């Protein structure tokens, strides 16, 4: 799509979003900032449609992350 046909959105992130963007840029060091923002928005939207893992009971110490989230992949594009 030519740039002239794209919608321009001016965005001033809050501090937490800015910090998250910095961390994401470390996870995807070769991505341009705009491509990274696009990736995060699309990924976030898809994630909102998934059911989160069930955390039962009031004992938070017993809660565990699902196995696939316990380590960070060496290759973030996997």
**3-55: per-residue pLDDT in tens?**
778 888 888 888 988 999 999 999 999 999 989 999 999 998 888 887 776 77
* Res 37: pLDDT: 93
- Name which of 1, 2, 10 is nearest 37 in CA terms: 10
pTM confidence score: 0.59
pLDDT averaged over every residue in the chain? 82
Rounded to the nearest 10 degrees, the angle between the axes of helix 15-27 and helix 33-47 is: 100
- Name which of 11, 45, 40 is nearest 24 in CA terms: 40
């Amino acid at each position: 799509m030519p740039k002239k046909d794209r919608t321009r959105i001016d965005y001033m992130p809050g501090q937490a979003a800015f910090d998250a963007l910095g961390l994401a840029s470390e996870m995807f060091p070769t991505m341009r900032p705009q491509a990274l923002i696009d990736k995060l928005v699309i990924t976030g939207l898809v994630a909102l449609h998934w059911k989160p893992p069930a955390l039962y009971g009031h004992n938070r110490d017993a809660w565990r992350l699902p196995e696939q989230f316990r380590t960070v992949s060496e290759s973030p594009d996997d």
